Amino acid sequence: MQLRQIDNPPNPYVSHEVEWLEPPPVARLQVFEDHSRSILSCNDSPDLPFKWSVNPYRGCQHACSYCYARPTHEYLGFGAGTDFDTKLVVKPNAADLLRAKFASRRWQRESVFFSGVTDCYQPLEAAYRVTRRCLEVCLEYENPVAVLTKGFLVVRDADLLVQLNERADAHVTISIAFADGETAKLFEPQTPPPDRRFEAIRRLRDAGIPVGVFVSPLIPGLNDKDIPKILEKSAEAGATFAGYTALRLPGSVADVFISRLRQAMPLRADRILNRLRDIRGGKIDDARFRHRMRGDGPYWDAMKKLFKMSKDRLGLGDAPGLQCADHSTEIQDSRTCDSGQLMLDFGKMG
């Protein structure tokens, strides 16, 4: 793979779509173009419920310290830390590659997931519009799509998503890990604040697009108590489904997240890391298939129950294509608990 650096990349913060974006980051941005020969990635992991995904970009300006995709930047010769946030790769020919794939007689109009190892609606999309052009191709071929994003910019493409949902199938899932904007800023500094994402749910719902919320990652001892509030505000905004996964810290992600945690919350860091070990059998991470996106033990069971109780109370369904990490595990006797009691259980455990 050969990457060509762009000396003067388009600035999304002075584009005609600046109204969709947050304030620009402090770190200097470098953009590289990747003229790939393919755009669809085929997933064979049993932990992920989709087969095909499109990643218009590599790296992500959202700068989430917990992002499991950070090690993918090391394959490009970059670092998994600030390089992942500031040395971004764009695939300008993605739509053409997608059109060629869809034109093949062997293509069966299977659902395509946006994205997987990046956020397809990070700020760079305002300037390059690669995701929008890919959605236009999906509409041209009436191919089903699913979108997962933290970006408010997804609202811009409501017109395409409405048509896609009418002609094939389309739904959007908004990822929200924290109910409080100040806490979110500590761990995902360049994402739109939670209230902005709740507003995105409302806008998409009003446009007639099926939309839900993904409470991910769940970080024991840090954001588990946010579950009821996130689900309540999402339901109020119009979300109809919800899902979750546990925090994953593969490879160098652990160093990035732990460093950010100790800097942001020095007095709570050890307690949170111990809780993480509680749900990972004493380890920081569990890389085994069917284990890496969920947890085990009493604390994890309490988190699951709190999520299920809150989801059922609000009438939220399961996320299509993004089932809860414990979709093979049924939660028993949930009728004997309530959200208030579960919050007390967390207090006793923590």
CATH class of 3-349: alpha beta
* Cα angle for residues 259, 197, 236 (degrees, 5° grid): 125
Residue predicted with more confidence, 344 or 53: 53
In the chain, alpha helices (H): 82-86, 94-103, 124-128, 130-140, 158-167, 181-187, 194-207, 227-237, 253-264, 269-279, 298-314, 339-349
Residue predicted with more confidence, 39 or 228: 228
Band of residue 291 on the pLDDT scale cut at 50, 70, 90 = low
Convert the pLDDT of each residue in 116-156 to its tens digit.
889 999 999 999 999 999 999 999 999 999 999 999 999 99
Predicted local distance difference test score (pLDDT) of residue 339 = 40
Q: Is 53 exposed, middle or buried (0-12, 13-18, 19+ CB in 10 A)?
A: buried
DSSP character at residue 193: P
Percent of the chain with pLDDT over 70: 80
Convert the pLDDT of each residue in 299-321 to its tens digit.
999 999 999 999 999 999 997 75
For the chain, the domains span 3-349
Mean pLDDT calculated for residue range 170-175: 97
pLDDT at 264 over 50: yes
Convert the pLDDT of each residue in 68-84 to its tens digit.
999 999 988 899 999 99
In 265-294, alpha helices (H): 269-279
Predicted local distance difference test score (pLDDT) of residue 290 = 60
pLDDT at 269 over 90: yes
Average pLDDT, the chain: 85
Predicted local distance difference test score (pLDDT) of residue 94 = 96
